Structure 1
Amino acid sequence: ERGAEAVRVGAQDYLFRDELDARLLGRAVRYAVERKRADIAQRKLTESRIRAQENARLERGLLPTPLLDGSPLRFAARYRPGRSRALLGGDFYDTVRTPDGTVHAMIGDVCGHGPDEAALGVELRIAWRALTFAGLCGDELLSTLQQVLEHERADEEIFATLCTVDISPDGRRAGLCLAGHPSPLIASPGRPATLLPYENSGPALGLLPKARWPRMQVELGASWSLMLYTDGLIEGRIGQGNQRLGQEGMVELIRRRRADGLGGEELLEAAMNEVRDLNGGDLTDDVAVLLLDR
């Protein structure tokens, strides 16, 4: 019986009939078992790597590609999910130009972390793009997005914050809607970075069934930089204590970096790296930042 079991698990490679005894048979069985374990471990490792590569390709494919053909605006974005080894988190953003020349941008944050939140964020982004091209804007668009969230969320306690901006074809004015989301930052030549007004913001999507989101008109000027971000950028800690960076700290950080001559991709990369360093390491929350320049 021992010989048959040894042959079954692969010990035949080690058996010599003329020299077979209990000691050699036991050693052959041990070798065969270890080889089998190694083969199984290698196969599982290979399968795990293939799944990881497939997931990475999928998540990269779910990140947005801005549709700004024909627009003079410059676009830059950075995204860092809070989940370990993930490419996609609960934050989401997008930018498109509609046929009338208006540039629409949005950024949002689904509460929580994980694949379910990431999937809901992607659904909201895709819905926003479709509704924007269908001509919806402001309160009508956000009300429809709330219906999408209520239908797709796994739990009634899940909500999402959102900031939408629609920039006029001449680039000098914009409409702003805030759904429980931090206000964008604007900077222009000769003027320090500052937050756009946000007194009339509405609640996050999914909190109040009949909520309304007023659209505020904002004057941008001839030349400007507009930065949209999620709260992961401002909730990082400063040093070893419990103090957070906050919006004021973020504004000062951007002012300093702009004074150093940074802009576009370099500005976003430097800002996110500094926030991470101030936090003493990687941030636990997802972070998305979007920058439009004119």
Structure 2
Amino acid sequence: MRTKTVRVLLVEDDDGDALLVEALLEEASAPFILARAHTLAEAESLLPDAECVLLDLGLPDSQGLDGLHRLLAKPDAPAILVLTGHDDEREGISAVAAGAEDFLIKGKVDGELLLRGVRYAVERRRADHAQFQLREAKLLAAERSRLERGLLPPALLQNSDVNLEVRYQPGGQRMLLGGDFYDAVGLPDGTVHAIIGDVCGHGPDEAALGVCLRIAWRALVLSGAPAEKVLRTLDQVLVAERHGEGIFTTACMVTVAPDRRSARYFLAGHPEPLLMVGRQIVDLPPSKIGVPLGVLPDYAWTGVDVPLPSGWSLACYTDGLIEGRVPDDVDRLGVERLCEILARHLRDGSDWMDSVIAEVTELNGGPLDDDVAVLLLKDGK
């Protein structure tokens, strides 16, 4: 089995001690590439190319553990073995406590011991780095799970005759949450409220803001606040909680009447919903899209009333579904072509959500750049 070559940086100002180390490595026939620095400043410039550092604690520009601390503070610092004199064993122990992998006493080391020490230090640093990456991945997964529960919660539609289906697909290769959110709530009088929203941008700050808005929306709906007041209050919450000036959120809010034969929806800079009856897409009344939340203070959003025939379903979605690319076309997919795709899949049956998202993704030539959320309300009567 071939032994991997290790890049070693010797930081030693004494030529005699440096020569001894080189001789010990030659004696052990060690597969090392050895570089030397005479000062700590020189070592700092050579550090990115090293896998292991043999560090003397007495240098012209560094004494004691100061040099060790400076090297360990560098990003992706390599493994460090400290070289001490005969009378400095206590300092070597202190160096290990400060982060060195081990210490070696000059004059008491042969080639084999030096070889094992370097290999052990390198492998231990690799194992520590792998363990750190694993912990980071677990923390990231836990954070993602918490944010996902906040952005995409279970709906409060117990004992409701309105059926709900939802889909969420993160954008790009990130497989991380953005700022898309949705929720649905049924009230004791039979009214069903639903919202889908999209915080501009991507990342944990946007996701946290989406969680904040979604929770505020649910609280306002459960308190019985009128739809117009809900949007105005969400606008105020957004302005107060956003992490940067200019951050806005689009939203579509829907209220389905208790008799299930009418609905009212509000658009805050968001694509309008799609109404389907059976296997047909039905045109909605002309609507005013309105401005996104967080753009104009004291803006008044107006609702659009829609009659709902028997067997209706209403799809709300974020713009990631219509902003994908189309082969041989400079324009984005758009609503019109989405409706063409949806109409074709409706003819094949009512379970269209996964197949439509898959086709849009395929037309894009790979994962969509933006997150996609779809909320589908269906007449259960």
Q: Does 1:73 align with 2:158?
A: no
What is the number of equivalent residue pairs in this alignment? Answer: 285
CA distance in 2, matches of 1:109, 1:195: 24
Select which of 76, 84, 101 maps to 2:190: 101
Select which of 14, 30, 37 maps to 2:125: 37
Correspondence list, 1:211-222, <5 A = 211-222=299-310
AA aligned to 2:147 is E
Select which of 255, 260, 271 maps to 1:182: 271
Distance 1:57 1:154, change over 3 A: closer
Q: Does 1:277 align with 2:362?
A: yes
Distance 1:115 1:73, change over 3 A: same
Correspondence list, 1:13-162, <5 A = 22-62=110-150, 63-82=152-171, 84-162=173-251
Q: CA deviation at 1:52?
A: 2.9
Task: From the CA coordinates, give the structure whose radius of gyration is larger.
Answer: 2
Q: CA deviation at 1:211?
A: 0.8
Q: CA deviation at 1:2?
A: 6.8
Q: CA deviation at 1:286?
A: 1.3
Q: CA deviation at 1:240?
A: 4.9
Q: CA deviation at 1:56?
A: 3.5
Q: CA deviation at 1:193?
A: 0.9
Select which of 326, 337, 341 maps to 1:253: 341
TM normalised by structure 2 equals 0.69
Q: Secondary structure at the match of 1:75?
A: strand
Tell me if structure 2 keeps the 8 A contact 1:10–1:32: no
Q: Does 1:170 align with 2:255?
A: no
Q: CA deviation at 1:11?
A: 7.8
Report what 1:238 is aligned to: 326
Tell me if structure 1 keeps the 8 A contact 2:155–2:185: yes
Query: In percent, how many aligned pairs have the same letter?
Result: 43
Spell out structure 1 runs of 4+ moving beyond 3 A: 1-12, 83-87
Q: CA deviation at 1:180?
A: 1.0
Q: CA deviation at 1:35?
A: 3.0
Tell me if structure 2 keeps the 8 A contact 1:59–1:87: no
Q: CA deviation at 1:84?
A: 4.2
Q: Secondary structure at the match of 1:52?
A: helix
Q: CA deviation at 1:10?
A: 4.8
Q: CA deviation at 1:247?
A: 0.4
Distance 1:129 1:83, change over 3 A: farther
Tell me if structure 2 keeps the 8 A contact 1:109–1:161: yes
Report what 1:197 is aligned to: 285
Tell me if structure 2 keeps the 8 A contact 1:11–1:31: no
Q: CA deviation at 1:87?
A: 4.3
CA distance in 1, matches of 2:207, 2:282: 30
TM normalised by structure 1 equals 0.89
CA distance in 2, matches of 1:247, 1:53: 34
Larger relative strand fraction: 2
Bigger mean CA deviation after superposition, 204-213 or 24-33: 24-33
